[in-house]
Structure 1
């Protein structure tokens, strides 16, 4: 059997075919006409052309591929080949004649020649585009479907239909490579397209060899063609399935929308996201815009790129791990596509520089957050939100604040889009990758050059190479050691924390009593009327005169400030409400305090709060110590300071009342007025009980909470090995102190605030009680006697009832929490029971 067409063989073929001269001429002319129709310019030749004409047409064709080719600018990686959308269409150029009367050998020869065109995505004479195919309407990424002439012999048609999918696969893959080579699709897509293009070159080389065999070997047949392309069908089908999934993963109407917005809008959106700005109205508007832009299917509007591409390839490789060919093909593509991703990770963890022009990496940078924000904002913006993971996860519990910047999952598959999708191979390393770069960034911001030697710089690494993860571990360890040494030794972190303890905890506040005495007149004013400048000058005077030795360290960093809200009102709002207060998320009951809310205050509220109740200390530190002593931690110190200061103030007030009650109206006996004697005794007893309660709370907070926890923190700081552990230990120390001081439970806070408020108000009536005592003594000497004693008893009974009720409620709450949640409150139970027994 000789499959060759008559035109490819010299004379004498006629005898072998067994055709008449007329039939031979007809077939030769038909095939020659079909070949002429394969000319790139797509113009049918009705008469012979000269050699110069053929050369001219060839030159015109070569030149036409470079004319107005805008895709070269957008996709410079594309090869200089004719696009699949511009291939000549032979349909209609030559009339398709029936093959019913054509011998089987000639059918095979004709269909072989058609197949060689179809395998390159070009329509043949007897193998044509599917009738439903439209170059304008159909998606090129789906590939072109071909159909065989029904007049072809059924035995040949069966083989041809097995081979035809190659044409569909090739056209789809070729269109994908051409489309995804655009700059907007990122480096990972570029590397993937380059790897697929190399595979297509092997396929094209195979077709060239098959065409050569078709033209030269008499033994070449359709069965041999199927034998040679059979392995390629499976390989191209694997690539086709991959590119089809990558193409269909893009959300409708949302492709590349993240890069199509105007520069000014993108900058403003990025700034708002980075700084956490935007109220409910803005979020509602943005949500509506996104909904309209993304279509009914919903989605993120971000093209499939970066980590998402690697994730799709890896998942396909895992799902088809039982197929050796699939594992080889997808493994090759994963390694090639992951090279730019691995290189970006290497630069980030070894130098702290984030080079990610197409937002493909798992780490995201908010460029609008800089070191200056640390000195004016109440949150540690630089550390928390300058560099974050695109998927919104944190090493601790995730917060809604981070989740707000995470794009929504894909409508199809539920996968996070673009760089927010972290490849499974690096999922377990993402926090170390983030922290390694952040540590090095802090060092670079301090003006210290990072000179880590990259020993694997010249070696090609991939995400499935163990050396790559060892490199990440080494980079993380190096960055961690360097920053830890910078904080502890160069920046003197431990002395800074000691100074915070001395200034904010009353047991070490050497200056506080002197300062309160000097500023007593100013602190008795309403908070809005008090002068912060005057208070600051008095504080400086006290620190300059009374401080000696270590107490003089960092005294210029201590500042006076007045809070905007009453301490217990603020704490009750924080621990009772789960959500966002004043723009910063706070945790529910028992959780940690994040930021003081910006309270909407009326004039009456601010007027009713005295300066002593609003007094607080502030502490200023510079970068990089502000990463550890951040505004969040300073707020915790302030809450503890205000709690202790209020206790100290109530203790001083009750002590002053005790001194007042040592004067003559309280000491002299009044034998003719026994009811007054009993009343006077009850007032002194109530004052003594209140003073004992306040002193027990103050002693418990100072000596059984703050001191032991501080010693535990010192022990941890001596053994600290990572910066993250250092930050966590410091915050845990403050949160533990707040919890054990009963400032994180709404029930304890409510009972305690009512009880301490009763004591505070009672101390304010010192002069009133003395006046009543004098009036009672004078009235007892008159003939009518004391007529106001009932009112005095009624007034005192209100304080006794209030104190007794809230003392019992508070004691019950403390006993309950000590037996269930907070064992550290057990010593306080003993102390409070002693107060109860004394009464």
Structure 2
């Protein structure tokens, strides 16, 4: 809202103002009497009479010699210096003069003329003769943004004083607004504050133009009076009041109790700069410090954060909404919102059109963690690059989590508004996620070295405002363009779908021939300890296995590598569960506390076998590493190791079955043959008769236990492969065919892996504990194939001692007891989770129940 400017009417009045001699004499006489009265108080009455006489002589056509003000440079350059004294006791002197001056005996028309001249100065924030600064005013202690208060000479006529007191707030408003402009024009307050100050300064220019016109009317119009001054000025009172209230709220929002007259708190000192430089050199600069605070769950106080950026726009918008019934307020605040929001909109346009974040004063809703770069993708098991490289300053995510995050400033003590750039303007609250994603997508494309073509629908020079519908159309178009461009890059140019299919084939063992062949070739190496096994040899055997198959994904075989994990699968899974999930881990599986793993191995004196730590890795380049990231590769590795362990135990039990088809296990021992072979010993014959049924019973129970274990392993492997992985993969393929956004693609892929982990029972501590005991029992039993064969040979050849027979039964009974106990516990856990949390386990309950029935 521009201040009201009076204009001369061209209706029935003259275009050129001319005064008759009588009118001019009346004006000059009134002004001369006012000045005469004032100068009499200072004992300069004769000087005033001389000047009035000279002025009268001038208008009478007589010559006169009045010294010109041109000789006084200070008056020519700054005419208002005539009202401003340079002495240190100016305020005290003025107050003393005000006490000595009394208007009781001054005529009313003279009082009005005196007060009119004073008002023209007071409206500019300059103290007058009859209108003084308030007695409590102190320039050194008072907050300049609150403005200067004025008081009127008590002896002024009440009828005049009433009207004057209506005009006095304009002086307060003007001084407060001027102080705000001067203070907030500092660089540290950002571009939005600069634009706001420029807009307010333009409005003050109109106000100053109005005052100059009023001064002209005061000097040359005989009809100009206090009433006319009020008539011209009263619309501006409301306008400046609105601006003053806004500046007051902006000036006190960061710290209502602080003295805003000093900007030293906003300007970094030399010592602070030196300390920051040292911190950066030590690797604990502000950016990394914020990251550490984020990791440790520490918050950031809003104290000391200036009101800038989005917070300024939010305050303007909220005031506009609260005063929506006032047309003047709507117009003023809408203008200020449009002008102040121009740099904010410009930064948003640059972000959503090019992916570049140009925000030197941290005013935008998007922030960048510069210490997180592409290189972190090679070791990032928490997806930091995508999740934390660019984020919203208010900490909100697409998942809708409202928990306060570290590194996010706390709300202001009054009103609960986030400070600075973390405060998102209400007009953009619903668009913040699209704004973030649009820039993130383009940033990825730009880092691939691909030139970004700007949308042809909108010109770069086209200007928008936040309350313009075209601006939101522009944001929607920019988001759609960025999303489709990156999606096309991933799906078409980078062959994402074939990559995922090769991952599924290598890690989910859908082609059993590949894994069986590899396990057969590397069986000798897998029996060694993790330290002794040769990664080079295992990698060569893997390549040999892959090259024997003719598949369409031949080009991706070089990306598959053999690695050794630092700990066992189930220990690692229990560690993940205890820390809250895979996403909360700070290190990868291949870097799983190597020192801790070595310490555990040293304490237990049981080094891990290569078969327990073997895993596959898969390497892709940027930008595919966003989708096939270390975060997702870790999940693939966990599923692969789970299936590999099952396959390895199944193969071991199969080898045990083949060995138990040999002669010592199939040969029948007849009692008669034993008696005839040693007819002289009835004692030995009686022993043979008593031991034959026992040996047959032991052998039968070994066969039965092996068969139960093999059935259990095969049922788990079949369930995981055909009822978990394959159906979920088909569901993922359907989603990938319909995917429309990059974030949906990332989310669907991660959800697929998490679902597979959950349905494979790798996310429940109770299920893992029981399953681990079972699988260890089965693997250990398979390792006893050779000792059992040796015991059977000794039993048939009658060389087995009573101690050997006892130990043979002791081992068998232990295996049976452990397997039966943990099988029962595992089945109970599966039934519980199938009925309460994970209904996908119901088919496994049926499979395990059938094993239980057959064994009974």
TM-score tier after normalising by the smaller chain length: 0.7 to 0.9
Q: Deviations over 1:244-270 (max 9, x none)?
A: 111112245995378985363685799
Structure 1, residues 688-738: CA drift from partner, whole Å, max 9, x if none?
111100000000111111111111111222222221221111111111111
Does the 8 Å contact 1:503/1:509 carry over to 2? no
**CA distance in 1 between partners of 2:709 and 2:577 (Å):** 27
Q: Are 2:93 and 1:92 aligned? A: yes
Q: Is the 8 A contact 2:305 2:420 kept in 1?
A: yes
Matched, 1:735 2:754: yes
Check conservation: 2:465, 2:471, Cα contact below 8 A. Answer: yes
Change (3 A) 1:300 1:498: farther
Distance 1:531 1:49 in 2: 110
- Candidates 802, 806, 812, aligned match of 2:818: 802
- Give the deviation of 1:561 after TM superposition: 0.9
The Cα of 1:431 is off from its aligned counterpart by 1.1
Quote the residue 1:101 is aligned against. Answer: 105
| Counterpart among 373, 385, 390 of residue 393 in structure 2 | 390
Give, in whole Å, the separation in 2 of the partners of 1:534 and 1:454: 58
CA contact (8 A) 1:310 1:338 kept: yes
2:843 to 816, 821, 827: 827
Range with greater deviation from structure 2 (711-720 or 684-693): 711-720
Cα 1:399–1:367, aligned 2, differ >3 Å: closer, same or farther?
A: farther
| Maintained 8 Å contact 2:576/2:585 | no
State the match for 1:428 in structure 2.
430
3-state DSSP class of the match of 2:596? coil
Q: Residues 252-308 of structure 1: CA distance to partner in whole angstroms, max 9, x if unpaired? A: 599537898536368579987767986689969x98xx7xxxxxxx52432211111
Query: Is 1:763 aligned to residue 782 of structure 2?
Result: yes
What's the CA shift for 1:103?
Answer: 2.5
How much is the aligned-residue C-alpha RMSD, in angstroms? 3.7
Asked if the contact 2:528–2:610 (Cα under 8 Å) also holds between the matched residues in 1, the reply is yes
Does the Cα contact within 8 Å between 2:316 and 2:337 map onto a contact in 1? yes
* Residues in 2 aligned to 1:22 and 1:536: alpha-carbon distance in whole angstroms: 109
Residues 752-774 of structure 1, C-alpha deviations (whole Å, 9 max, x = no match): 12221221222222223333334
Where do 5+ consecutive residues of structure 2 fail to align? 1-21, 49-64, 672-688
Q: Please give the alpha-carbon distance, in whole angstroms, between the structure 1 residues aligned to 2:392 and 2:146.
A: 34
**CA separation of 1:121/1:803 partners in 2, compared to 1, >3 Å: closer, same or farther?**
same
Cα contact 2:615–2:640 (8 A) shared by 1: yes
The 2-side partners of 1:107 and 1:760 are apart by: 110
Residue in structure 2 matched with residue 174 of structure 1 by the alignment: 178
Q: Quote the residue 1:131 is aligned against.
A: 135
- The alpha carbon displacement at 1:17 in A equals 11
Q: 1:269 to 1:407 in 2, by over 3 A?
A: farther
Report the secondary structure of 1:310's partner residue.
Answer: helix
> Aligned partners of 1:463, 1:270: CA distance in 2, in Å?
40
Pair 22,532 (structure 1): closer, same or farther in 2 beyond 3 Å:
closer
CA positional deviation for 1:424: 0.9
Render the CA deviation track for 1:444-490: whole Å, top value 9, x for unaligned.
Answer: 22222111225243333111111111111111111111111111111
Judge conservation of contact 1:84–1:121 (CA < 8 Å) in 2: no
Q: Separation in 1 of the partners of 2:612 and 2:118? A: 93
Q: SS of the residue aligned with 1:247?
A: helix
In terms of mean alpha carbon deviation, does 744-753 or 468-477 score higher?
744-753
Matched, 1:695 2:714: yes
Map of 1:793 onto structure 2: 809
Q: Which deviates more from structure 2 when the two are superposed, residues 677-686 or residues 449-458?
A: 449-458
- CA–CA distance in structure 2, aligned partners of residues 596 and 483 of structure 1: 32
- Any idea what SS the aligned residue of 1:120 has? coil
**Residues 250 and 315 in structure 2, CA contact (< 8 A), matched pair in contact too:** yes
1:603 is the counterpart of 2:598: yes
**Cα deviation, residue 814, structure 1:** 1.5
C-alpha contact (below 8 Å) 2:566/2:592 kept by paired residues: no
Distance, in Å, in 1 between the alignment partners of 2:334 and 2:290 is: 43
Q: For residue 341 of structure 2, give the secondary structure of its aligned residue in structure 1.
A: helix
Answer yes or no: is the 8 Å Cα contact 1:91–1:124 preserved in 2. no
Report the equivalent of 2:658. Answer: 659
Structure 1 position 55 matched with structure 2 position 50? no
Q: Does 1:567 align with 2:569?
A: yes
- Residue 219 of structure 1 deviates from its aligned partner by 3.0
Q: Contact 1:596/1:635 (CA < 8 Å) preserved in 2?
A: no
Correspondences of 1:448-487 after superposition (within 5 Å): 448-452=450-454, 453=456, 455-487=458-490
Corresponding residue of 2:57: none
In structure 2, C-alpha distance between the alignment counterparts of 1:457 and 1:85, rounded to whole Å: 52
Change (3 A) 1:691 1:266: same
Other structure's SS at 2:151 match: strand
Partner deviation per Cα, 1:774-831 (whole Å, 9 max, x = no partner): 444455x78xx73554443333222222211221121122122222222221211111
Equivalent of 1:507 in 504, 507, 510: 510
| Cα drift, residue 583 of structure 1 | 5.5
Partner-residue secondary structure (3-state), 2:305: coil
Any idea what SS the aligned residue of 1:757 has?
helix
> Is 2:829 the partner of 1:813?
yes
State the secondary structure of the residue aligned to 1:561: strand
**TM-superposed deviation, 1:61:** 5.0
Q: Secondary structure at the match of 1:771?
A: helix
Tell me if 1:256 matches 2:275.
no
- The CA deviation at 1:20 is 13
Unaligned runs of 5+ in 1: 1-7, 35-47, 65-81, 291-297, 586-592
Give the equivalent residue in structure 2 for 1:293: none
Q: Deviations over 1:79-118 (max 9, x none)?
A: xxx9999999566258221222223322222222222211
Q: In 1, Cα distance between the equivalents of 2:294 and 2:370?
A: 25
- Determine the C-alpha separation between the residues in 2 that align with 1:33 and 1:814: 111
Q: Distance in 2 between matches of 1:136 and 1:350?
A: 48
Matched, 1:111 2:115: yes
CA 1:487/1:650 → structure 2, altered by over 3 Å: closer, same or farther? same
3-state secondary structure, aligned to 2:616 = strand
- Equivalent position of 2:639 in the other structure: 640
Question: Against the structure 1 CA distance between its residues 83 and 367, is the aligned structure 2 distance closer, same or farther, given a 3 Å change threshold?
Answer: farther
How far 1:336 moved relative to its partner? Answer: 0.9
User: Bigger CA drift: 223-232 or 727-736?
Assistant: 223-232
Once the two structures are TM-superposed, the CA of residue 656 in structure 1 deviates from its matched residue by 1.5
**What is the 5 A alignment of 1:524-543?**
524-543=527-546
Relative distance call for 1:11 and 1:226 in structure 2 (3 A) is closer
SS at match of 2:97: coil
- Secondary structure in 2 aligned to 1:617? strand
* 8 Å contact from structure 2 (residues 380, 631) kept in 1: no
Instruction: Deviation per CA, 1:568-600: give whole Å up to 9, x if none.
Output: 122222223338998639xxxxxxx99986465
Cα pair 2:311 2:418 within 8 Å, conserved: yes
Secondary structure, counterpart of 1:559 in structure 2:
strand
Could you tell me whether the CA contact under 8 Å between 2:365 and 2:393 is conserved in 1? yes
2:246 maps to 242
By how many angstroms is 1:191 displaced? Answer: 1.0
How far apart, in 2, do the equivalents of 1:483 and 1:644 lie?
34
- Matched residue count: 780
Q: 358, 361, 370: which is aligned to 1:358?
A: 361
| Bigger shift: residues 417-426 or 130-139 | 130-139
**Structure 1 residue 750, shift from structure 2 partner:** 2.0
Q: Is the 8 A contact 2:36 2:45 kept in 1?
A: no
SS of corresponding position for 1:92: helix
